[in-house]
Amino acid sequence: MEFKDKVAVITGGASGIGRSVAMALAKEGADIVIADMNDSRLEEARQQIQDTGRRVLTVHCDVSNYADVEKLAAQTIATMGKADILMNNAGVVVRGWLENLSMADWEWAIGINLLGVIRGVQAFLPYMLKQGSGYIINTASGAGFLITDPKNISYSTCKFGVVGLSEGLFAYLRPKGIMVSVLCPAEVRTNLISNSRYVGTEDEIKEMRQMGKMAYEIPREGLMEPDELAQKVIEAMKQKRFIISTHEQLKDILMNQGLDIQKLEKHFQDTYK
């Protein structure tokens, strides 16, 4: 895929993975629309992308609210004239033992991590179908293939859903000229944990916060930087790969679980030509 003069829309794009992918696409010649709820980070991202010389639009958007996502799509078309790439990237985590999660916790997680992706597709797909072209990238996780932490069951549930949704979209939309990929990274240094909800006793919450900081915010061996991940995303998009797996250790884990990611990729490509 060529990115020159394409318009890319990224939810959760003001920091972390979204912001790094936005910058990488801008450097490839794309114009960028960033949607996020953090206005100060939106402004920082706007200035950073503007410095590349590409057009940029920032939109305050809550992906748990369909009216916001519809407004995002309308503003994108009105300002940029089209939407070539949609990256449904906004995400949150609820951490805690299953019995401590309330229905409100489940609804918050699903409303952003899974329904937020669905809302993005619903809002932008009519424009892409009319164009007869487009590229949708849904951010899932390695946790969308296997559960690695019993305190993250709600997160894995959502990400399994994103992987399944993406496969269905791939099968349906590829013949219509719209490519679909699902991004499944392992550990990346982002602020996802700082924006998490924690449930449990005071001591449990304190321990989970500390472990989260050590796992995802403090640089260490095996923890990927968002800019490095963004380059892997660009490479995968150019190759039009369905599964974007960014970490070799995830591939090893999946093979040990009987899920060879290369065979899965070939299956998707062969089945949904």
> Residue 272: is its pLDDT beyond 90?
no
Residue 216 is among the residues annotated as catalytic for this protein: no
- 74-92 burial, b at 16+ Cβ within 10 Å, e below that, comes to ebbeeebebbbbbbbbbbb
Strand 134-139 versus strand 178-183 pairing type: parallel
Confirm whether 1 is domain-assigned.
no
Can you tell me the mean pLDDT for 29-51?
97
**Range list of H helices, the chain:** 16-27, 39-50, 66-80, 103-113, 115-131, 153-173, 202-216, 226-239, 248-256, 261-271
Q: First-to-last CA distance in the chain?
A: 17
- Please tell me the total number of residues recorded for the chain in this structure: 273
Q: 146: exposed, middle or buried (C-beta count within 10 Å: 0-12, 13-18, 19+)?
A: middle
Given this model, what pLDDT does residue 220 score? 57
> What tokens were used for 125?
């797909």
Given this model, what pLDDT does residue 224 score? 83
Sheet holding 178-183, edge to edge: 56-60, 31-36, 7-11, 85-88, 134-139, 178-183, 243-244
Structure-model confidence comparison of residues 135 and 269, the more confident one: 135
Q: CA–CA separation, 261 vs 253, rounded Å?
A: 10
Given this model, what pLDDT does residue 5 score? 97
Q: CA–CA separation, 104 vs 271, rounded Å?
A: 39
| Chain segment 157-202, per-residue pLDDT in tens | 999 999 999 999 999 999 999 999 999 987 776 766 666 788 877 8
Confirm whether 238 is domain-assigned.
yes
Confirm whether 40 is domain-assigned.
yes
> What tokens were used for 245?
């797996």
Closest CA to 179 of 262, 109, 238: 238
Range of the domain at 210: 7-271
- Which amino acid, 207? E
Dihedral of alpha carbons 24, 223, 208, 116, sign: positive
Q: CA–CA separation, 228 vs 188, rounded Å?
A: 9
Structure-model confidence comparison of residues 189 and 145, the more confident one: 145
Report how many domains make up the chain: 1
Catalytic one of 135, 155, 198, 216? 155
Structure-model confidence comparison of residues 175 and 142, the more confident one: 175
The CA-CA-CA angle for residues 20, 260, 10, to 5°, reads: 20
> Residue 109: is its pLDDT beyond 60?
yes
Q: CA–CA separation, 92 vs 193, rounded Å?
A: 8
To the nearest 10 degrees (0 to 180), the angle between helices 115-131 and 66-80 is 30
Given this model, what pLDDT does residue 48 score? 96
| Chain segment 192-245, per-residue pLDDT in tens | 666 678 887 787 767 766 665 555 555 555 678 889 999 999 999 999 999 888
Can you tell me the mean pLDDT for 138-164?
89
- Residue 108: which CATH number? 3.40.50.720
Phi-psi map region of 240: left, alpha, beta (phi>0 left; psi -120 to 50 alpha): left
Q: What distance lies between CA 217 and its chain's CA centroid?
A: 18
Confirm whether 2 is domain-assigned.
no
Closest CA to 259 of 193, 207, 184, 194: 184
> Residue 57: is its pLDDT beyond 80?
yes
Confirm whether 19 is domain-assigned.
yes
Average pLDDT taken over every residue of the chain: 88
DSSP states of 40-74: HHHHHHHHHHHTTT--EEEEE--TT-HHHHHHHHH
| Chain segment 43-56, per-residue pLDDT in tens | 999 999 999 999 99
